[in-house]
Amino acid sequence: MTATDDAATALFAELTGQAPAGVWSAPGRVNLIGEHTDYNDGFVLPFAIPHRTVAAVGTRDDRRIRVASTFADEPVEVAIDELAQLFPTPTGSAPAVPEWAAYPLGVAWALRQAEGAADSVITGSGLDIAIASDVPVGAGLSSSAAIEGATASALNDLWDAGLDRTALARVGRRAENEAVGAPTGIMDQMASMLGEPDAAIFLDCRSLDANLVPVGIAEAGLAILVMDTRVKHAHSTGGYGERRAACERGAAIMGVPSLRDVSVDDLPRAAELMDDVTFRRVRHVVTENQRVLDTVRVLREEGARAIGDLLVASHASMRDDFEISVPELDTAVEAALAAGAIGARMTGGGFGGAAIALIEQDAVQQVTDAVNAAFAASAFTAPVIFTVTPSAGAHRDA
């Protein structure tokens, strides 16, 4: 049991006066490379991080669900049969429950309708769910997918739904899209469900075929540094949806179902057919897909030390073509590289959040100091900097 397991279990006891029937957890993620490619049916290469969200859950016999969290003042309680009136949240509206509660309640709603779920989900018992987490919120490290993964794993067991990990990832994504109202892809949920120690997940977001790629970071004497800029972002508002719409526009102009079907060789024709902004959005996605494929090949053939240039090119493409970086992210990347990082890039949806740097293990302090100094020189809020290693996906802890 971890400290976060203990926090969720203590909250459950405070809420119910009892011990939970079980404790489930799911991790956040770092994306090594492949940004904004998931909803374009493309390729991504994320890995699960050691930070986890924990759900301590027990059944109750009145067909009501109560959710409580260490980061909310009050629990939220609804009747199971009311879920279908609460969700889906109409496009552009706020959820009918506090946003944090829309994640676990949205999972319960989506799981009851999931394709392939056993009929027992319809008669499933009421639940008390107590949530604790050490995944930083709003840092681009998928705290949302971690809540969804922990809750979906618990409900899958307690309601005997019989869903596999990919189906549970789909449940989480549906909750995020339709209950919370964030138009995200499926990368984060798949990373949180499928993570394994020492491996990244090479995911084809069209087929959902997932292959583990050993990253060998520690063996190569390297480390991955996360630099959380503390610029908060949210994907239910603004820029994320606009980028997604630009990608759909670009695919329509090219006459293909999604940008996955556009290759680097098609880019000159794309440049002739569309306006400059749409073209640059398309060029990011098309070249980023190729960079994921190249990174997987280089990792397998040459090892982690050889992927630095691909990470740097990915960041430049997000900064210049997709325009989802912010000055704090650029500063973190530039300062890390100047201090000797092998590669660095922002990770996640952008508009804030975190960047990662691939560095020598013995350079952790040097790079940390350099990034802190660069933030201080620009009068930015001090970043939070820590190392991560690829870790296990969702599981039952107790």
Q: Which residues are annotated as a binding site for substrate?
A: 35-38, 240
Helix (H, G, I), strand (E, B) or coil at 147: helix
Binding-site residues for Mg(2+) sit at 144, 176
Nearer to ligand GAF, 68 or 226 (CB): 226
Binding-site residues sit at 35-38, 69, 138-144, 176, 240
- Rule CB under 6 A: choose which of 51, 230, 235, 345 binds ligand GAF: 235
Q: In the range 349-388, which residues lie near ligand GAF by CB under 6 A?
A: 349
Nearer to ligand GAF, 16 or 290 (CB): 290
Binding-site residues for ATP sit at 69, 138-144
DSSP structure class, residue 356 = E
Nearer to ligand GAF, 25 or 31 (CB): 31
Catalytic residue (choose from 5, 41, 128, 188): 188
Question: What minimum distance in Å lies between the beta carbon of 243 and ligand GAF?
Answer: 9
Query: Using omega within 30 degrees of 0 as the cis cutoff, is the peptide bond preceding 88 cis?
Result: yes
Q: In the range 185-224, which residues lie near ligand GAF by CB under 6 A?
A: 185, 187-188
Nearer to ligand GAF, 43 or 375 (CB): 43
Residue pair 34/96 in contact by the 8 Å Cβ criterion: no
Residue pair 161/114 in contact by the 8 Å Cβ criterion: yes
How many C-beta atoms lie closer than 10 Å to residue 71's C-beta? 10
> How many chain residues touch ligand GAF (CB under 6 A)?
12
Nearer to ligand GAF, 186 or 199 (CB): 186
CA–centroid distance for 103 within its chain: 13
- 188 included as an active-site residue: yes
CA–centroid distance for 50 within its chain: 13
Question: What minimum distance in Å lies between the beta carbon of 297 and ligand GAF?
Answer: 20
Q: In the range 106-135, which residues lie near ligand GAF by CB under 6 A?
A: none
Question: What minimum distance in Å lies between the beta carbon of 244 and ligand GAF?
Answer: 8
Q: In the range 317-356, which residues lie near ligand GAF by CB under 6 A?
A: 348-349
Q: Which two three-digit tokens encode residue 91?
A: 């496009």
Question: What minimum distance in Å lies between the beta carbon of 226 and ligand GAF?
Answer: 14
Which helix (H) or strand (E) segment is 30 a member of?
strand 22-31
Distance CA 132, CA 261 (A): 41
Which helix (H) or strand (E) segment is 194 a member of?
helix 187-194
Distance CA 205, CA 214 (A): 19
DSSP structure class, residue 180 = I
Nearest to 67, CA basis, from 141, 140, 175: 175
| 397 near ligand GAF, judged by CB under 6 A | no
DSSP 268-293: HHHHHHS-HHHHHHHHHHHHHHHHHH
Question: What minimum distance in Å lies between the beta carbon of 199 and ligand GAF?
Answer: 19
Question: What minimum distance in Å lies between the beta carbon of 234 and ligand GAF?
Answer: 11
Distance CA 216, CA 224 (A): 11
Q: In the range 74-103, which residues lie near ligand GAF by CB under 6 A?
A: none
Asked whether the CA dihedral 79, 146, 37, 332 is positive or negative, the reply is positive
Q: In the range 256-275, which residues lie near ligand GAF by CB under 6 A?
A: none
Q: Which two three-digit tokens encode residue 4?
A: 């976060």
Nearer to ligand GAF, 45 or 56 (CB): 45
Q: Which two three-digit tokens encode residue 380?
A: 């930015």
Nearest to 132, CA basis, from 247, 9, 248: 9
Which residues make Cβ contacts (< 8 Å) with residue 207, sequence separation at least 6?
none
Nearest to 326, CA basis, from 315, 339, 341: 315
Nearer to ligand GAF, 184 or 295 (CB): 184
Binding mask 148-187 for ligand GAF (x = CB under 6 A): ------------------------------------xx-x
Q: In the range 6-65, which residues lie near ligand GAF by CB under 6 A?
A: 31, 35-36, 38-39
Question: What minimum distance in Å lies between the beta carbon of 132 and ligand GAF?
Answer: 22
Binding residues for ligand GAF (CB under 6 A): 31, 35-36, 38-39, 184-185, 187-188, 235, 348-349
**Residues marked as catalytic:** 188
